[in-house]
């Protein structure tokens, strides 16, 4: 499914789809599987996606300032 949306904006699509894929592999009661899958997706996002946003938000402004400052 990720071949359809290989852009950074496609991460929300991947999070929605992954719940359906991993729900078969979770050994729990069927009524709790979706909640567990949602928790796993949120934890995975916190570990893998949001640190890049935080690091980028701290590095990019300085890089832009150095790259595009006027040389007078």
12 falls within a domain: no
- Residue whose tokens read 């729990």: 28
Of residues 60 and 11, more confidence is placed in 60
Interatomic CA distance for residues 52 and 10, integer angstroms:
15
Span 1-11, mean pLDDT? 61
Taking residue 37's Cβ as centre, other Cβ atoms within 10 Å add up to 20
pLDDT tens per residue across span 11-58? 677 777 776 777 777 787 877 877 888 888 788 878 887 888 899 999
Beta-carbon contacts of residue 59 (< 8 Å; ≥ 6 apart) = none
Domain-located, residue 10: no
pLDDT number for residue 58: 94
Asked if 34 and 23 touch (Cβ cutoff 8 Å), the reply is yes
Q: Is 27 a domain residue?
A: no
* Overall domain count for the chain: 1
In a domain, 2, yes or no: no
Predicted TM-score (pTM) of the model is 0.55
Domain of 53, in residue numbers: 35-67
């Amino acid at each position: 499914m990720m071949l359809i949306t290989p852009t950074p904006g496609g991460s929300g699509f991947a999070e929605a789809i992954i719940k359906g894929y991993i729900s078969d592999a979770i050994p729990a009661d069927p009524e709790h599987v979706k909640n567990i899958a949602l928790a796993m997706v949120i934890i995975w996002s916190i570990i893998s996606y949001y640190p890049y946003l935080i690091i980028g938000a701290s590095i990019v402004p300085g890089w832009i300032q150095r790259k595009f400052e006027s040389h007078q």
